[in-house]
Amino acid sequence: MAEQQTKEESDCTETFIVQVKELGGAGIPEAVDAFRTPSTPSSSSGIPNSEINYPLIQSSSSNTTGYASKILEKTGMLNCNSSRVPMEPKCKLKKQDGEPFVDATEYRRIIGSLRYLVNTRPDLAYSVGVVSRYMDTPTVTHMSAVKQILRYVRGTIGMGIVYKKNQEKEELVGFSDSDLAGDTDDRKSTSGIIFFFGESPITWVSHKQRIVALSSCEAEYIAATGGACQGIWLKKIIAELRGDDKVKPVLKVDNKSAISLAYNPVFHDRSKHLTQEFILFVIVFNVEIYSLNM
C-alpha cells in the first residue's frame, strides 16, 4: 500500500508518496533533497517515467496512448473501425441471453486491462463496469459489447485529462446521477459520480447500487449519498495538502425529488425504509458542508 508523508517548512510544503521501494516527491527541489536523510539511503531518478503505463506529461496532461495501443494490439483490434460511443444507449445485457459462450479467460483478461485503463479514462467507467458483471459465463453478446468499447478506445486513443498548473477558480464540484433498474437480472440501479477540481476531473466511479431502488428519486438519492461521502473525503485530502480548509465541495444533482428529500427528509412511505447510511447524506447537508444545486 502507498503511504503519504508531508514535511512543512515556513513557506513551502513537500509531499511524498511511498510505495514498496519507490518514492515520489513534489515540492521545491532543495527542500525535497533536505527531506532525505542518511538513515534512509535513496537516489533521484528525475521525472517519473511510464513504467507503470501511465505517462505523465509534466504540468500538462495524463494519457494512456501506449497502454491503450497494447490492449488493442493484444486483442487484434489495433486497425479496427472506431466507434463514437463506448456502449449503445439501448444496450441491455443479461446473464442468460441464450447465446453461445466465449472463452472466459480471454474475456477476463480484456476486462482486467480495460479496468486498469479506467483509472485515467472516466468516459469508460460505466461501460466497463457493465461488461464486468458477466465474467463468470460470458457469451457472444457480452464479447460484442466489449469489442464496442475497444472500438471506442481506438477512436479516442490520443485523448487524456488536462491538468492546468494555475487555474482561475479552484472549486471542488461533483456530479452524481443514476439510472433506474438498469440491471435486467436483479433490477438494481447504477450510480455515477465524478468530481472536478477546477476544470479537471480528479475522481470518478460507476457502480451498481447495493439495494433495489423503488423510484428514480430513491435511486438518485442513493447516488447523491455516495457523492456526498466522496466529497467529504476529497475535502479532507485537499485540506491536508494545501494546509487550509477553504475548499467547499458542491454536489450537483439533476433530480428535484432527490434534492427536496435531501433538504427535508420527510418520514413517509417512499423514504422510511432507507437505511442509516443514507441518513448520513441528510446530516452532511444540515451542517452545511455542501450546497446542493441543479
Tell whether 187 and 92 lie within a shared domain.
no
Q: Where are the alpha helices (DSSP H) in 49-138?
A: 65-74, 104-117, 125-131
Domain range spanning residue 105?
61-160
For residue 76, the tally of other CB atoms under 10 A from its CB is 10
Question: DSSP letter at 81?
Answer: P
Residue 8: the pLDDT is 52
pLDDT per residue, tens digit, the chain (294 aa), is: 444 555 555 455 666 555 555 555 555 566 556 655 555 555 555 555 554 445 544 445 566 789 999 999 999 999 999 999 999 998 999 998 789 999 999 999 999 999 999 999 999 999 999 999 999 999 999 999 999 999 999 999 988 898 887 777 888 999 999 999 999 999 999 999 999 999 999 999 999 999 999 999 899 989 988 998 898 899 999 999 888 888 888 888 888 888 877 777 665 666 666 655 565 565 555 434 454 554
Query: Cα dihedral sign for 222, 226, 129, 134?
Result: negative
Tell whether 90 and 180 lie within a shared domain.
no
What would the grid cell of residue 130 be?
457493465
Tell whether 134 and 216 lie within a shared domain.
no
Which CATH number does the domain housing residue 259 bear?
3.30.420.10
Residue 121: the pLDDT is 95
Tell whether 149 and 199 lie within a shared domain.
no
Tell whether 199 and 281 lie within a shared domain.
yes
Is residue 17 helix, strand or coil? strand
Residue 51 forms part of a structural domain: no
Tell whether 74 and 98 lie within a shared domain.
yes
Residue 129: the pLDDT is 98
Tell whether 74 and 38 lie within a shared domain.
no
Tell whether 187 and 72 lie within a shared domain.
no
CB 152 within 8 A of CB 84: yes
Residue 83 forms part of a structural domain: yes
Tell whether 215 and 289 lie within a shared domain.
yes
Residue 291: the pLDDT is 45
Counted domains in the chain = 3
**Angle value at C-alpha 122, between 155 and 107, nearest 5 degrees:** 70
Residue 1: the pLDDT is 43
Domain end, chosen from 160, 178, 200, is at: 160
Domain end, chosen from 111, 141, 160, is at: 160
Domain end, chosen from 109, 131, 160, is at: 160
CB 80 within 8 A of CB 72: yes
Residue 97: the pLDDT is 74
Question: DSSP letter at 198?
Answer: T
Tell whether 286 and 174 lie within a shared domain.
yes
Residue 260: the pLDDT is 79
Residue 281 forms part of a structural domain: yes
Tell whether 110 and 127 lie within a shared domain.
yes
Residue 5: the pLDDT is 52
Tell whether 198 and 263 lie within a shared domain.
yes
Residue 56 forms part of a structural domain: no
Q: Is the pTM of this model over 0.85?
A: no
For residue 114, the tally of other CB atoms under 10 A from its CB is 24
Residue 165: the pLDDT is 78
